[in-house]
Structure 1
């Protein structure tokens, strides 16, 4: 006599398979994040990208944005040192676009990367309509003895490696 076989419901099998695929996709994303974007750019690599390096006050095109770093200010609050970017971001596209301080990063002359201080920055998850320019500040806490900064501007989304960046040369703007 044949022993009865238990059949796994199709929905349960699809659910387990879907969860496995999602897990693999998450691992791929995490791996790509650690190897992509600004974290892999050092000063030497930035300097080689002549067409993507702009001076303070110039305007760079990045996707549907025209971006400029209008002015840089260095501030000291107690023992903390801050670099404050006054930035302008214009939506040149035909639909509303999201702008965030996460689009901005600093690279110092020792190839260390700095992320914006969201609590001190004005540009935090804003929606900018077509043709509108959003002005605001992006603030970074930096060590007092570090200089030679490049400002890297990229997408306000997960960079899986291959996203475009533009850079602003802030090495001689420290006052």
Structure 2
């Protein structure tokens, strides 16, 4: 009868287990976050930024003292009618201050699929506000709820050169 549990076999088995216990966790701990960051897309005037079902395009931006006016086009790329609420477009300055609109003629209760709405969004900003970007979040109601509960709403930005 052959002996399978020899000292050499036990030592070899222990060695294999030790190697497995060391290498498997090392392999499993490879973190995807260690991959180089993907380049972020930079949007500017004339570029369409897709957020949810809507594509937003800032076609013009002007500043007159403390008033900033954006000409905005929003197209529903979704498959059903969607509401486009006031506050979908905000301004943010280089210091991270977020400005709400004073006047918004882009928002509509219903924008059907494939249709677009176009208008102006006007903001009042202090003279010291610079490095302005349009901050877009089509779900303005959810953003307001997030803000009320202390959560940070996510925005995509369009550089305005103002």
TM-score range, shorter chain: 0.5 to 0.7
- Cα distance, 1:49 vs. partner? 8.9
Quick check: 2:73–2:106 contact (8 Å CA) kept in 1? no
4+ aligned runs moved over 6 Å, structure 1: none
Supply the distance in 1 between the matched residues of 2:38 and 2:70 (Cα, whole angstroms). 22
TM-score (norm 2): 0.65
CA offset digits 1:89-123 (Å, max 9, x no partner): 00011111111231111111122111111xx2212
Among candidates 126, 133, 138, match of residue 150 of structure 1: 133
Among candidates 127, 130, 136, match of residue 113 of structure 2: 130
Aligned partner of residue 130 in structure 1, secondary structure:
coil
Give the paired residue count: 119
Unaligned runs of 5+ in 2: 1-36
Aligned partner of residue 87 in structure 2, secondary structure:
helix
Which region of structure 1 is more displaced relative to structure 2, 151-160 or 82-91? Answer: 151-160
The match for 2:158 is: 168
Point out which structure has higher relative CO (alpha carbons under 8 A, 6+ apart). Answer: 1
CA offset digits 1:50-99 (Å, max 9, x no partner): 535311110011111111111101124xxxx2101100000011111111
Aligned partner of residue 51 in structure 1, secondary structure:
coil
TM-score (norm 1): 0.61
Unaligned runs of 5+ in 1: 1-47
Quick check: 2:89–2:136 contact (8 Å CA) kept in 1? yes
Does structure 1 residue 70 correspond to structure 2 residue 59?
yes
Supply the distance in 1 between the matched residues of 2:93 and 2:85 (Cα, whole angstroms). 21
